[in-house]
Amino acid sequence: MNRSELVAALSERAEVTRKDADAVLAAFAEVVGEVVAKGDEKVTIPGFLTFERTHRAARTARNPQTGDPIQIPAGFSAKVSAGSKLKEAAKGK
């Protein structure tokens, strides 16, 4: 399902216009992005998803072409965890 299909499904299910559903989806993505960028808290939709920022330590890797070691600096990444209801849906229950 792509974004336009998701917007169509949301608008149909919530009985709102596609424009309103698209605005809500865009606002949701913006808010989650801002909270994750700050990194001081996580966004949780109980039973569905959790979004949070995680720290990645500096490490040494290898250049696959030459085999030389290279340093990868520390940084941050986003972590998305599935909740219990989403996991059950994925199992087909």
pLDDT tens-digit map of 66-86: 999 999 999 999 999 999 999
pLDDT tens-digit map of 26-58: 999 999 999 999 988 999 999 999 999 999 999
Do 32 and 65 contact (CB within 8 A), yes or no?
no
Question: What is the arithmetic mean of pLDDT over 11-30?
Answer: 95
- What's the order of all strands across the beta sheet hosting 49-56? 43-45, 49-56, 75-82
Give helix 18-38 / helix 3-14 axis angle, nearest 10°.
Answer: 110
Phi (first) and psi of residue 81, to 5 degrees: -115, 135
Report the pLDDT value the prediction gives residue 93, as an integer from 0 to 100.
Answer: 65
Report the pLDDT value the prediction gives residue 4, as an integer from 0 to 100.
Answer: 94
Phi (first) and psi of residue 25, to 5 degrees: -65, -40
